[in-house]
Amino acid sequence: MSAVLIWAGAAVCAFAAVRLLLTRDRFLRLHFVSLASVLATPLVIAGLALASWSSWHDVAKLVIIGALLFVTGPATVIAAGHATKRVSDG
């Protein structure tokens, strides 16, 4: 189960990166950017948390890092969206 989750998260991240490169529309690219932090991060964190760690402190640290990425990802994309709209509007 752990390996499947990690694989799924890595695959989602790779998919988002490839689609980012292939997509021309500025606003559509931001959707693929947020995919990494909103979908790939929870999958990889869940997979790693199920793996064997020496202490629960390590799992707590993993969850904190995952929560940080999960919360800050959309905030960054929103800020980038505002900047993109200003540039597009001139």
Give the footprint of another protein on this chain (CB under 8 A): 2-4, 6-7, 9-11, 13-14, 16-18, 20-21, 26, 29-30, 32-33, 36-37, 40-41, 44-45, 48, 51, 53-55, 57-58, 61-62, 64-65, 68-69, 72-73, 75-77, 79-80, 82-84, 86-87, 89-90
**Smallest distance, Å, CB 64 to another protein?**
7
Place of tokens 């989602």: 12
**Smallest distance, Å, CB 61 to another protein?**
5
Residue in 4, 5, 7, 31 with CA at minimum distance from that of residue 19: 31
Inter-residue contact 51 to 11 (CB < 8 Å): no
**Smallest distance, Å, CB 22 to another protein?**
9
- Sort 15 into a burial class: Cβ within 10 Å, 0-12 / 13-18 / 19+: middle
